[in-house]
Structure 1
Amino acid sequence: MSIKQFTKILIANRGEIACRVIRSARKMGVRTVAVYSDADRDALHVAMADEAIHIGSAPSRESYLVFERVIEAAKKTGAQAIHPGYGFLSENADFCRACEQNDIVFIGPPVGAIEAMGSKSAAKQIMEKAQVPLVPGYHGEDQSRDLLKQASDDMGYPVLLKAAAGGGGKGMRQVWSPEEFDEALDAAKREAMNGFGDDTMLVEKYLTQPRHVEIQVFCDQQGNGVYLFERDCSVQRRHQKVIEEAPAPGMTEELRAAMGDAALRAAQAIDYVGAGTVEFLLDEDGSFYFMEMNTRLQVEHPVTEMISGQDLVEWQLRVAAGEPLPLRQDQLQINGHAFEARIYAEDPENDFLPVTGTLSFLQPPESSDNVRVDTGVRQGDEVSVYYDPMIAKLIVWDENRDKALQRLTKALSEYRISGMTTNIDFLYNLASCAPFRDAQLDTGFIEKHHSVIFHDSQQEVEKDLPLAALYLVLKQAQQADDNAARSSDASSPWHATSAWRLNEPHVHRFGLQFHEQEYPVAVTQHNVANATRYSITLDGKTITAQGSMDGNVLHADLDGYQLKASVAEHDGSYSLYTQDSALSFSLVQPDLGDADTDGSAGGLTAPMNGTMVTLLVDKGAAVTKDDALLVMEAMKMEHTIRAPADGVVKEFYFAPGDLVDGGAELLDFEPA
């Protein structure tokens, strides 16, 4: 089939990837059809497409995962091909087969390739025959608990339990000791069954300081194959990627060629067609091991596009239509460096739990040749419990890693979102910390450098909070000046912000909340020779400060140390972005005595909207601190609720399968 015969395609997905595919199709003159659930009736991808078909209610299992409805929508609209995006049906062999049976082109690999890589254990066996290096592990069919436990004991801990049919970190658990094995296996199997309908597990030796490096491969129907270099995806939380970059820091041409050749052997071993990613663990000594192959376009594909100058979605459409690959291996080259940061609705301070809400204000950084934002939402849209909490992907490019990293931190400091908690400040702190700048990367990066990324040391309190106090005082003065300028009596004493007191120093007193702690602050104002200086007393220490505001930029002098910070205010809290960190704080509101004081100390509340998965103890059970009590699922992830202390579970308020609102009481717990 020639590309000219693709006049219309259907995108069997939602959100940013659906919008991404629509942009490339539009550029090629191909019309697009969107599908949508009840929750997505007014979504951006629906508005962007030429046509849209409703396929079911909000839960994905009743809409986006029902491939019969997707096929029906394609036939109804006359779409000749279906692009599955990533997730949902993108690696579903039955869906691919149904497309073929209905004479619809599946923009992806053939059924056989999907089936070959659909089981991680079967994939390992295929890779072993293709002489692709493997991590030591057990990939057999016997799934008895005793055998899996024995395999783990024989390998030595830590080990990694992985769902054979899994991906995206779901159905995966690290096990550090024999005592943790049973609970980890139960959780991994349960999550795998919920996510993939298959709880078959494999066990691998867990490398303690590996890097996660993946190779982008592309194959056509004529038997040609190329690799479009590598991406480093080592920085992860919950086994899901946070910041990706290309090319991988420190990569030699020899190692790149060896990994690229191994990736192509993996693809050719299963007669692959289209875009695919072969993921490797890269050890400190330069050895690398096959981890899995994703038979689809990856979330992080834009960094490859930025350094190669190629549109991978366009490549997908052309290859699916029967055209040969646009370029040979010797025609591909790396130009510059790119980063991708995933903007999520989640709370990094609360174990990265996803959050829901409405995007009451949304202002991304300005797009350019160096800055790209891939998103599927607009201001006013809702981030719901039904789907992944990703808001956008921020992608930057420059001629080398240092310059690209500067682009990334600047763009993050310009990203404005209100209405919900996001990970933007966390990403800024991560990208600007010294270990990341020095590319000291491995898959345990966030845990290893937690105190640096989260700025939770006493030194950060002493360094950052005076800057926050100075900003609030200057902001108050600026607002007063603005009010005076608009007033009929500009000289009215009610516009003054000098904290004047008869026969007393001019002192501003307020409280700052930082990392869930409150810090009382006293700022004494000194007016000397047409200049205003401040003495800031905080946590027992006093510094001298002065500064000014220029729009949203704070110019500060703290005890002779001059610096600048950009400021963002959202939902009553503030973010100050300096060269080294993002400081998030809020002004403590006065206690007017009307707070709810009856409390619920004997209960435990749901950390987010979600579904009750299972109750792990019986009503009336005596438990000890940190015992697992129940499991909730939200936004594709499981969350285990544990006992806060020794005590007794007196009552559960929800049963498995029940929908639970965030903040709802889950159970009645009586401490010992």
Structure 2
Amino acid sequence: GAGTVEFLISPDGRPHFLEMNTRLQVEHPVTEAVFGIDLVALQLRVAEGEPLEATPPHPQGHAVEARLYAEDPATDWTPQTGTLHRLSVPAGVRLDTGYTDGDDIGVHYDPMLAKVVAHAPTRAEAVRKLAGALDRATVHGPLTNRALLVNSLRHKEFTTAHMDTGFYDRHLPELTASTPDPHAPLAAALADAHGRSRFGGAWRNVPSQPQVKRYATGDTEYEVQYRHTREGLSTDGVRVVHADAGLVVLEVDGVQRKFEVARYGTDQVYVNTTTLTALSRFPDPAAQLAPGSLLAPMPGTVVRVAEGLAVGAVVSAGQPLFWLEAMKMEHRITAPVTGTLTALHAAPGRQVEVGVLLAVVEVSQEDR
């Protein structure tokens, strides 16, 4: 067998022991990259009775590993589920994953999707290489911690190796803040419009109203407009250089920018690293939820309901109402506002899918 020993190295080169595990740990690709060995193959050789080399190989360069998780770091690291439509990273880094495109990310296992490892002559080069690869990676599916990893790798405390265990306590809000590309919704609309018949796609030989499409990312909605013209698709303020179902090239302020577009189902759209939801022109009134609705953030099982909780109870904002078990973790569902519980559908033992209505808390009149 083989064991993993972890150390911290102080600036003067002295090692400080952390822990020992009688197995390979998730970070073992870092050792393999630095020493140019295959630890799993060596384990098998030892099991077959072969001896190891008398002296270990010499280390070469530095390696850094990042764990890509299906989780939302901004909301208490909540695990995410759904279909992993596409996962790929640029050449030059190592990708270890047990998933393939189209696999389902369920609730029964740890939500780690992959390990991405970069090796380079120096630590600074390895960090930059890993950050760049993650930034350019294609990850279509559930929400992941990809942005957090990229921002962490590029943070001054990390690049200068002055981080500590309080790094995320101090910086998590800024590291998880996202700024969607403002041109991503337009690129999505132009890709969707590509291939439509000019005569069946609203083209006419006299000026008319532009086509309008709406998209959402997070809590932000975007409305974009474009026209079918004799020369092709056009929009105000931006020149459309090229547009097809998978690639849109826009000239913005004299600079050409490429947008890779992928669509899954009826409303999921990915434009580079921006995730969008295509909004229907005619929303279903039945799909509207009452204010204060609590939805299941993931598939799981309701394991506990707060003692004495019942319809009519007065609850406070942030008060735990029930607990949901998923992906080997227990997640608290809390009241979004101070008010009265007007509906309660959660019950111990009930299995729920993501988005299922669990309860409704109606805000108090004095707080409106």
Structure 1 and Structure 2 fold alike (TM over 0.5): yes
What amino acid is the match of 1:471?
A: A
Choose which of 409, 415, 427 in structure 1 pairs with 2:132: 409
* 1:68 equivalent in structure 2: none
Q: Secondary structure at the match of 1:430?
A: helix
Structure 1 residue 626, shift from structure 2 partner: 1.0
In the alignment, structure 1 residue 512 sits paired with structure 2 residue 212: no
What amino acid is the match of 1:475?
A: A
Q: Are the counterparts in 2 of residues 429 and 454 from structure 1 also a CA contact under 8 Å?
A: no
After superposition, the Cα gap between the structure-2 partners of 1:523 and 1:393, relative to the gap in structure 1 and judged at 3 Å, is same
* 2:280 equivalent in structure 1: 589
Please give the alpha-carbon distance, in whole angstroms, between the structure 1 residues aligned to 2:260 and 2:287: 38
- After superposition, give the CA deviation of every residue in 1:614-665 in whole Å (9 maximum; x if it has no partner): 3333134533211122222211122111122223446754454544433334
Please give the alpha-carbon distance, in whole angstroms, between the structure 2 residues aligned to 1:533 and 1:450: 40
* 1:394 equivalent in structure 2: 116
Choose which of 143, 147, 151 in structure 2 pairs with 1:430: 151
Structure 1 residue 426, shift from structure 2 partner: 2.7
Q: Are the counterparts in 2 of residues 433 and 453 from structure 1 also a CA contact under 8 Å?
A: no
After superposition, the Cα gap between the structure-2 partners of 1:598 and 1:513, relative to the gap in structure 1 and judged at 3 Å, is closer
Choose which of 528, 531, 535 in structure 1 pairs with 2:236: 535
Q: Are the counterparts in 2 of residues 610 and 633 from structure 1 also a CA contact under 8 Å?
A: yes
* 1:502 equivalent in structure 2: 206
* 1:355 equivalent in structure 2: 80
Choose which of 372, 378, 390 in structure 1 pairs with 2:94: 372
After superposition, the Cα gap between the structure-2 partners of 1:632 and 1:568, relative to the gap in structure 1 and judged at 3 Å, is same
After superposition, the Cα gap between the structure-2 partners of 1:450 and 1:551, relative to the gap in structure 1 and judged at 3 Å, is farther
1:211-226 map, 5 Å: 217=5
Please give the alpha-carbon distance, in whole angstroms, between the structure 2 residues aligned to 1:533 and 1:362: 30
After superposition, the Cα gap between the structure-2 partners of 1:383 and 1:314, relative to the gap in structure 1 and judged at 3 Å, is same
Q: Are the counterparts in 2 of residues 307 and 335 from structure 1 also a CA contact under 8 Å?
A: yes
1:287-306 map, 5 Å: 293-306=20-33
Please give the alpha-carbon distance, in whole angstroms, between the structure 2 residues aligned to 1:631 and 1:532: 50
In the alignment, structure 1 residue 575 sits paired with structure 2 residue 270: yes
Choose which of 329, 341, 346 in structure 2 pairs with 1:637: 329
After superposition, the Cα gap between the structure-2 partners of 1:597 and 1:392, relative to the gap in structure 1 and judged at 3 Å, is closer
1:105-504 map, 5 Å: 107=1, 217=5, 252=11, 254-255=12-13, 258-259=14-15, 262-263=16-17, 278=18, 293-317=20-44, 326=53, 328=55, 331-348=56-73, 350-359=75-84, 361-365=85-89, 370-400=92-122, 401-402=124-125, 405-406=128-129, 409-410=132-133, 413-417=136-140, 420-423=141-144, 425-426=146-147, 429-430=150-151, 433=154, 435=156, 438-439=159-160, 441-446=163-168, 448-450=170-172, 452-456=174-178, 460=179, 464-465=181-182, 467-476=183-192, 479-480=194-195, 493-494=199-200, 502-503=206-207
- After superposition, give the CA deviation of every residue in 1:269-327 in whole Å (9 maximum; x if it has no partner): xxxxxxxxx3xxxxxxxxxxxxx554432112112211221222234445667776545
Structure 1 residue 590, shift from structure 2 partner: 0.9
Q: Are the counterparts in 2 of residues 356 and 383 from structure 1 also a CA contact under 8 Å?
A: yes
TM-score, normalising length: structure 2? 0.76
Between Structure 1 and Structure 2, whose CA radius of gyration is higher? 1
Q: Are the counterparts in 2 of residues 626 and 645 from structure 1 also a CA contact under 8 Å?
A: yes
Please give the alpha-carbon distance, in whole angstroms, between the structure 2 residues aligned to 1:550 and 1:603: 40
After superposition, the Cα gap between the structure-2 partners of 1:415 and 1:668, relative to the gap in structure 1 and judged at 3 Å, is closer
Q: Secondary structure at the match of 1:502?
A: coil
TM-score, normalising length: structure 1? 0.45
Where do 5+ consecutive residues of structure 1 fail to align?
1-106, 110-215, 218-226, 231-247, 264-277, 279-291, 485-491, 537-543
After superposition, the Cα gap between the structure-2 partners of 1:429 and 1:496, relative to the gap in structure 1 and judged at 3 Å, is farther
Please give the alpha-carbon distance, in whole angstroms, between the structure 2 residues aligned to 1:666 and 1:334: 54
Q: Secondary structure at the match of 1:423?
A: coil
Q: Are the counterparts in 1 of residues 296 and 355 from structure 2 also a CA contact under 8 Å?
A: yes
Q: Secondary structure at the match of 1:535?
A: coil
Please give the alpha-carbon distance, in whole angstroms, between the structure 1 residues aligned to 2:337 and 2:137: 42
Structure number with the higher helix fraction is 1
- After superposition, give the CA deviation of every residue in 1:495-542 in whole Å (9 maximum; x if it has no partner): 676xx57345x7343223122221223457898xx7986424xxxxxx
Please give the alpha-carbon distance, in whole angstroms, between the structure 2 residues aligned to 1:564 and 1:452: 27
* % same residue: 31
- After superposition, give the CA deviation of every residue in 1:572-594 in whole Å (9 maximum; x if it has no partner): 333333xxxx32223322125x3
Please give the alpha-carbon distance, in whole angstroms, between the structure 2 residues aligned to 1:599 and 1:295: 51
User: CA RMSD for the aligned pairs?
Assistant: 4.1
After superposition, the Cα gap between the structure-2 partners of 1:352 and 1:575, relative to the gap in structure 1 and judged at 3 Å, is farther
Q: Are the counterparts in 2 of residues 409 and 431 from structure 1 also a CA contact under 8 Å?
A: no
* 1:624 equivalent in structure 2: 316
What amino acid is the match of 2:184?
A: A
Q: Secondary structure at the match of 1:548?
A: strand
Q: Secondary structure at the match of 1:556?
A: strand
- After superposition, give the CA deviation of every residue in 1:182-204 in whole Å (9 maximum; x if it has no partner): xxxxxxxxxxxxxxxxxxxxxxx
Choose which of 292, 299, 303 in structure 2 pairs with 1:609: 299
Structure number with the higher strand fraction is 2
After superposition, the Cα gap between the structure-2 partners of 1:670 and 1:496, relative to the gap in structure 1 and judged at 3 Å, is closer
Q: Are the counterparts in 2 of residues 566 and 576 from structure 1 also a CA contact under 8 Å?
A: yes
* 2:354 equivalent in structure 1: 662
Q: Are the counterparts in 2 of residues 567 and 576 from structure 1 also a CA contact under 8 Å?
A: yes
Please give the alpha-carbon distance, in whole angstroms, between the structure 1 residues aligned to 2:200 and 2:228: 17
What amino acid is the match of 2:213?
A: F
Please give the alpha-carbon distance, in whole angstroms, between the structure 2 residues aligned to 1:436 and 1:568: 35
Q: Are the counterparts in 1 of residues 70 and 80 from structure 2 also a CA contact under 8 Å?
A: yes
After superposition, the Cα gap between the structure-2 partners of 1:535 and 1:447, relative to the gap in structure 1 and judged at 3 Å, is farther
What amino acid is the match of 1:548?
A: H
After superposition, the Cα gap between the structure-2 partners of 1:532 and 1:386, relative to the gap in structure 1 and judged at 3 Å, is closer
